[in-house]
Amino acid sequence: MAKKDFMFTSESVTEGHPDKVADQISDGVLDAILEKDPKGRVACETAITTGFVLVMGEITTAAYVEIPKIARQTLKGIGYTDSRFGIDWNTCGVLSSIDEQSPDIAGGVSTSVEKRDEKTKLAREEKSIDELGAGDQGMMFGYACRETDVLMPLPIVLAHKLCRKLAELRKKGDIIFLRPDGKSQVTVQYENGKPKSVDRVLLAAQHEPDVSDKEIREVLIEKVIKPVIPAELMSKDIQFLINTSGRFVIGGPQADAGLTGRKIIVDTYGGFGRHGGGAFSGKDPSKVDRSASYAARWVAKNLVAAGVADNLEIQIAYAIGVAEPFSIMVDTFGTGKIDEDKIVELINGHFDLRPGAIIRDLNLRRPIYQQVAAYGHFGRDDLNLPWEDISKADAIKQDAGL
């Protein structure tokens, strides 16, 4: 039975957090390649530290992109324009070490087991869909719920909004003492399985050295927290925790080295639901870590929008080189309106979850990825993302008899 009364906390980080900087550089490289070569194979990792960026990985493409320029422009756009912030886009060192994709992996991905074995070759779709095998083994999860208009959990939605507000006010010059690095954390009190109030809000914001702790606290509460957290959701005993470590002058890559793929819970559902462990950024859509996770969100969101459940998680598993999913599992946490076996039948009837079909149906071979490398890949009502589309919900609702 699902737990009914509890407190749940989710965190987010700003675009200037070193791990998020790395994600944005990796996805910037991916976008640049997909713009010139939609079928390019990319597995791009970035490491960043004081004054230095390393871009590495396996990339197979006939296109040429200027990786150092992409890294520098990403840093500049975030706001790392002064070495006092931990790194300066114009003077930092940038090194790239790129190899081609392993031919063993390429062979399995380019021609699926089903296509290689004529006895099991599928005939329901065009040849190109059958040919593409999963880029790796693994399990991917998708999640949706009715807590917010974007069908996402409330804690992660609020945490992202706080970090975006920090970045917005910094870039506009409305809070002049802010620097690029920062984090948020939001704790929500649930009653009967539904969010009742926000009990704690934590902000960690990098700042100039000559500003007082008192000014930081007052300004961030008035200009960041109160405009973001709805007044009706604030508990009467709400706690505001600002820079609880004390001063936060040294931040960014100078304080912590950044790596691609270290913020997988920030990228997804803030800890609600499960996670298969695979990161998204820097990976082209032949990698099911990315494309199947997007498809899983697409499936879950449409099912919840159709009224099949109020709270739904889907797991999709794959084997490298195999097109058909290894398994599909659904959990409605006791909120389902129909049997979960029937929901799996609906999924199979309305969605084709082979990698080639996912890429086709969500139009994933295009440069759309750097924009989601900060502030979450899901629930983004500010972007027109294909996996957030719920146009299948009406047909699912009809077939479910709801």
Task: Give the tens place of pLDDT for each residue, 6-55.
Answer: 999 999 999 999 999 999 999 999 999 999 999 999 999 999 999 999 99
- Catalytic amino acids? 17, 19-20, 45, 58, 183, 248, 256-257, 262-263, 283, 287, 289
Arithmetic mean of pLDDT over the chain: 92
Report pLDDT digits (tens) over 344-376. 999 999 999 999 999 999 999 999 999 999 999
Total Cβ atoms within 10 A of residue 108: 20
Say whether pLDDT at 127 is over 60: no
Say whether pLDDT at 122 is over 80: no
User: 23, 189 in Cβ contact below 8 A?
Assistant: no
3-state secondary structure of 229: coil
pTM for this one?
0.92
C-alpha 182/C-alpha 186 separation (Å) is: 14
Report pLDDT digits (tens) over 241-299. 999 988 999 999 999 999 999 999 999 999 998 999 999 999 999 999 999 999 999 99
The confidence band for 116, taking pLDDT boundaries of 50, 70 and 90, is very low
3-state secondary structure of 388: helix
161-180 average pLDDT score: 97
Question: What angle in degrees, to the nearest 10, is found between the helix axes of 288-305 and 340-350?
Answer: 120
- What's the pLDDT score for residue 115? 53
Say whether pLDDT at 117 is over 50: yes
Q: Which helix (H) or strand (E) holds 218?
A: helix 213-220
**Can you tell me which residue has the tokens 């690029």?**
180
Total Cβ atoms within 10 A of residue 124: 9
Higher-pLDDT residue of 103 and 206 is 206
Say whether pLDDT at 68 is over 80: yes
Q: How far is CA 320 from the centre of its chain?
A: 23
- What's the pLDDT score for residue 133? 79
User: 364, 286 in Cβ contact below 8 A?
Assistant: no
Name the DSSP letter for residue 14: -
Q: Which helix (H) or strand (E) holds 8?
A: strand 6-13
Say whether pLDDT at 109 is over 70: no
Say whether pLDDT at 100 is over 80: no
Q: Look up residue 300 and give its two tokens.
A: 């879950």
CA angle 321, 327, 333 (to 5 degrees): 145
Higher-pLDDT residue of 136 and 240 is 240
Share of residues in the chain with pLDDT > 90 (%): 86
Q: Look up residue 77 and give its two tokens.
A: 């756009």
C-alpha 400/C-alpha 258 separation (Å) is: 46
